[in-house]
């Protein structure tokens, strides 16, 4: 794979400080977040559909509420559906993606940590509209133990070649390994791809993007958050990190794929985007004709994260 230079995407770069805040966290200070989001554009109803979750500090309950909101312009959103973690029997709710099936049904793919069990899985909710998603009738579509893994989370969905392509975060293939008298840390997270004809049964998973396991800003984390078509390939936006602490304050980088399956990170000595106060993470890029929308979780000066959009 021939990788483009990072400078080829300079026209996409923006100042994240200048984004419009579309959701504030419930509190101020570290651990209060609004984000964990994905966005879908419904061409039938000309509607932007946003999933997001609200999170409190670890000692106060973590990811307690999630919601789906809709918008005509991609900037001003109104909630149409919400649920709290008790409705999932969860200890914490994380990333989800609400999409419209090609047959017209609305589906929400959402990840959460099962209460008392300590693992993450991905369920699917259905509804005739985004406001009618049925929490009680949800179905687990990606159970990590079915694939020999400990946790699966943070899905986003694209439709390609008439099929569901669901990207998700899971463990890397490498393990901590000794090197002489030292032990090098293993990567904390990788991106996998599940493909399905019906969006219900995903027969297998494949690793598509992994951390290089180097002592760099992105060396041990490789979570793809979105992709956009670019010339003859796919540009991906990912979260990178160096330590376990960085699972809360990741930085945004760029990755490239010729086919949407195998991704490699571009050469980047520094993050592509970051806040002056911490992270820019979960960057979801969406194109509508000549317009681009970048949705991202942003660290404020007080340490809390808000959810922003930059529209160009």
Pairing of strands 190-196, 163-170: antiparallel
- Cα Rg, the chain, nearest whole Å: 18
What domains, with CATH codes, occur in the chain? Answer: 6-311 (2.115.10.20)
The string of pLDDT tens digits covering residues 36-79 is: 999 999 999 999 999 999 999 888 778 899 999 999 999 999 99
Contact of 80 with 69, CB cutoff 8 Å:
yes
CA dist 264 → 67, 206, 237, 287, 309 (Å)? 32, 15, 11, 22, 26
Q: What is the rounded end-to-end Cα distance, in angstroms, of the chain?
A: 30
pLDDT for the residue numbered 184: 60
Choose the weakest-confidence range: 62-71, 121-130, 236-245, 248-257: 236-245
Q: Whole-angstrom Cα distance, residue 184 to residue 172? A: 14
pLDDT for the residue numbered 104: 95
pLDDT for the residue numbered 180: 63
């Amino acid at each position: 794979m021939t990788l483009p230079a990072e400078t080829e995407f300079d026209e996409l770069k923006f100042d994240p400080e200048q984004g419009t805040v579309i959701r504030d966290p419930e509190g101020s200070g570290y651990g209060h977040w609004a984000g964990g989001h994905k966005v879908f554009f419904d061409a039938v109803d000309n509607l932007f559909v946003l999933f997001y979750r609200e999170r409190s500090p670890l000692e106060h309950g973590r990811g307690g509420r999630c919601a789906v909101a809709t918008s005509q312009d991609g900037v001003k959103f109104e909630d149409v559906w919400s649920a709290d973690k008790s409705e999932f029997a969860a200890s914490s709710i994380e990333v989800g993606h609400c999409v419209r099936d090609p047959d017209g049904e609305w589906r929400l793919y959402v990840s959460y940590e099962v209460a008392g069990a300590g693992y993450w899985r991905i369920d699917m909710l259905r509804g005739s509209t985004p406001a009618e998603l049925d929490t009680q009738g949800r179905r687990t579509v990606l159970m990590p133990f079915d694939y020999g893994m400990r946790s699966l989370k943070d899905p986003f969905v694209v439709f390609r070649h008439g099929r569901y392509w669901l990207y998700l975060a899971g463990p890397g293939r490498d393990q901590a390994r000794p090197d002489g008298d030292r032990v090098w840390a293993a990567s904390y997270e990788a991106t996998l791809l599940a493909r399905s004809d019906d969006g219900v049964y995903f027969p297998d998973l494949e690793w598509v993007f992994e951390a290089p396991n180097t002592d760099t800003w992105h060396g041990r984390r490789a979570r793809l958050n979105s992709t956009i078509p670019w010339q003859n390939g796919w540009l991906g936006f990912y979260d990178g990190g160096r330590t376990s602490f960085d699972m809360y304050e990741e930085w945004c980088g760029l990755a490239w794929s010729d086919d949407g399956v195998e991704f490699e990170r571009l050469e980047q000595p520094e993050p592509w985007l970051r806040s002056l106060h911490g992270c820019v993470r979960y960057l979801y890029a969406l194109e509508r004709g000549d317009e681009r929308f970048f949705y991202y979780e942003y660290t404020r000066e007080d340490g809390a994260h808000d959810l922003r959009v930059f529209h160009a």
